[in-house]
Amino acid sequence: MLELKEIIKQYPAGDKPVKALRGVSLKFRQSEFVSILGPSGCGKTTLLNIIGGLDQYTSGDLVLMGNLRRILRIGIGMLIETIL
């Protein structure tokens, strides 16, 4: 249903780009429950933003329902909940 192939995401930062994701490959089956775990700064949010269409990746392929997707969706908002 959803497959990521060698996803790379780089952010410009001065002379050297920051590599947020380095060749991530994953395959999710339909109705599968998945948790993404890791330390702070390892790229979890970046990965979820790419999967959700909120961010564009630098290179690689994202295949959704058998269709290659490279277009960033326009008009998507995001709400962050904070416990007070």
- How far apart are the C-alpha atoms of 42 and 78, rounded to whole Å? 21
**pLDDT at 80 exceeding the cut of 80:** no
- How far apart are the C-alpha atoms of 60 and 56, rounded to whole Å? 11
**Band of pLDDT at residue 61, cut at 50, 70 and 90:** very high
Whether 25 contacts 7, CB under 8 Å: yes
pTM attached to this predicted model: 0.78
Residue whose C-alpha is closest to residue 8's, from 18, 30, 23, 27: 23
3-state class (DSSP) for residue 2: strand
Beta carbons within 8 Å of 80's beta carbon, 6+ residues apart:
none
How much of the chain, in percent, has pLDDT values that exceed 70? 83
According to CATH, the topology of domain 2-68 is Rossmann fold (3.40.50)
Q: What is the pLDDT of residue 7?
A: 96
